Amino acid sequence: MTEQIVPPRPEQGVPEQPGEIVPPPLPLTPPPTATPPPATPRPARPALRALARWTAAVLAFAALGAGTAFGVSGPERGDVPGLSTRSDGRWAYPKLTLPALPAGSPRPFTTGNAGEIHYADLRELLLPAPQGAVVDKKLAGGWVSSEQYLSEYNKGHRSALRTSLRDYGVRHIAARGWTMPDGTVSRVYLLQFRSVAFADAYQQERTERGEVTRTPLNESPADTLDEHWTGNSDVPETTTYVFEETKPYGENDIQVRQAYIVAGDTVALVFHQKKGGAPSAPFYQTVILQNQLLG
Detail the DSSP E strand segments found in the chain: 4-6, 72-73, 96-97, 134-143, 172-179, 185-192, 207-208, 212-213, 224-225, 238-244, 254-263, 266-275
Instruction: Give the Cα separation of 246 and 253 in Å (integer).
Output: 11
Instruction: Give the Cα separation of 109 and 251 in Å (integer).
Output: 43
pLDDT tens sequence for the chain (295 residues): 445 555 454 444 433 333 333 334 444 444 443 444 443 344 444 433 333 323 232 322 232 333 333 333 344 434 444 344 456 799 999 999 999 999 999 999 999 999 999 999 999 999 999 999 999 999 999 999 999 999 999 999 999 999 999 999 999 999 999 999 999 999 999 999 999 999 999 998 887 766 678 889 999 888 889 998 975 556 889 999 999 999 999 889 999 999 999 999 999 999 999 999 999 999 999 999 999 999 9
pTM: 0.74
Instruction: Give the Cα separation of 99 and 67 in Å (integer).
Output: 9
Instruction: Give the Cα separation of 271 and 186 in Å (integer).
Output: 6
Amino acid at 278: A
